[in-house]
Amino acid sequence: MKKHMLKAIFLLPAALLCTALLFTACGAGGASRNAVDYAVSSDVGAAEAFPEEEASMDASEYGYAAREWDEGVLAGDAGGTGLPVRQGGVSLSEKIIYSAEARIETIEFDAAIEKVYDLLEFYGAFIENSYIEGSGDRSASFTLRVPRENFTEMTDSLPQLGNLLSVSSNAVNIQTQYTDAESRLAAYRTEEERLLAMLSEVKDVESMIAVESRLSDVRYELESLTSRLRDWDNQINYSSLSLYIDEVKQLRTQLQPSAGYAQELKDGFVATLRGIGVFFMEIFKFAVIALPAILLLAIAALIVLFIVKRTRARRAKRTDTEGANLRGTDGHGADGPGGRGTE
């Protein structure tokens, strides 16, 4: 009896463990079947909601067609490394808007401008806007749009234009915003199809007006999202490069720490003398340019001085005449009364 009880005690946990494993296996199988069923139903629903022909028609209607990307590597990120792509879509790192800004000084301004146009033609870029000003020391500004795959190579070629003073770059990842806009676009297209189906079925005027009003709002959102995606695509595919070119008479030089303290003093002294010479040259140039105005001002000053002196001379002469007359009058009056007193 005791032996049977001990066997029952040892076999009971084993039976419970087997039962638990059996239920776990069944639950896992059911979950797998549910996952497969859900995936199949999702694929079927997606195929029914967005047929290929209707999707292509909607894309052509709103001017937004899916692009096929070639397999390979595109260069253009900030670090100069390649950007991997895959057929039929792009990776997360490719939804990036690159931009850069560079400041350049040059002695040969016209040659630098011609070199800008040569770089544009070589790298397939174009000018978004440009501005050139000045007659002496001229300056120019360009906003260029460069194909993403040539962006790094073109920025590396900027020292050909002159003395490259500074370069700054920027990269903005818009993958989240882009994916959200695409999802909203697909949802609005589905809603548009449903509203068109409802519009063909409604009979009363009020329902028709309500459906048409909602349809108008949906189409407005579709156009807005399509335009936004197109603008993002342009910014992604064509990076922005801002160039500022200044014409100078002498390129900037930086003191080399390895040259030594004496060399730094020498270079600083020479730079100061050069600055003084440039200062006096600018003054002389200003004097020559303003010489006609200076002559006119000098002539006007002489005329005013002559008039003032003549006026003062006349006033002094009048004062002297009046004083002499006054003295003559006083002398005659004194003799008269004195004579009468003597008589």
* 135-181 tens-digit pLDDT: 778 999 999 999 999 999 999 999 999 999 999 999 999 989 999 99
Cross-strand partners of 170: 99
Give phi and psi for 295, each to the nearest 5.
Answer: -65, -45
Least trusted range by pLDDT, from 4-13, 147-156, 242-251, 254-263: 4-13
Give the Å distances, CA to CA, from 256 to 154, 259, 267, 303.
29, 6, 10, 59
Q: Say what percent of the chain tops pLDDT 70.
A: 66
**pLDDT tens-digit profile of 3-58?**
444 444 445 445 544 444 444 444 444 433 333 333 333 333 333 333 333 333 34
Our count of domains for the chain comes to 1
**pLDDT tens-digit profile of 99-142?**
999 999 999 999 999 999 999 999 999 999 999 987 778 999 99
pLDDT of residue 47: 36
- Asked if the structure places residue 119 within a domain, the reply is yes
pLDDT of residue 202: 86
**pLDDT tens-digit profile of 267-311?**
788 888 888 988 888 888 888 898 888 889 999 999 999 999 888
- Asked if the structure places residue 261 within a domain, the reply is no
Q: Is residue 128 helix, strand or coil?
A: strand
**pLDDT tens-digit profile of 46-70?**
333 333 333 333 433 333 333 333 3
Whether the per-residue pLDDT at 96 is higher than 80: the answer is yes
pLDDT of residue 70: 35
- Asked if the structure places residue 255 within a domain, the reply is no
Of 199 and 328, the one with more pLDDT: 199
Q: Are 73 and 83 in contact (CB under 8 A)?
A: yes
pLDDT of residue 259: 57
- Asked if the structure places residue 42 within a domain, the reply is no
Tell me which residue range forms the domain holding 141: 72-247
Q: Is residue 80 helix, strand or coil?
A: coil
- Asked if the structure places residue 162 within a domain, the reply is yes
- Asked if the structure places residue 9 within a domain, the reply is no
- Asked if the structure places residue 221 within a domain, the reply is yes
pLDDT of residue 270: 84
- Asked if the structure places residue 66 within a domain, the reply is no
Count helices and strands (H / E) in the chain.
8, 8
Give the Å distances, CA to CA, from 214 to 105, 116, 224.
57, 51, 15
DSSP 137-189: S-EEEEEEEEEGGGHHHHHHTGGGGSEEEEEEEEEEE-HHHHHHHHHHHHHHH
- Tell me, yes or no, if the pTM score tops 0.75: no
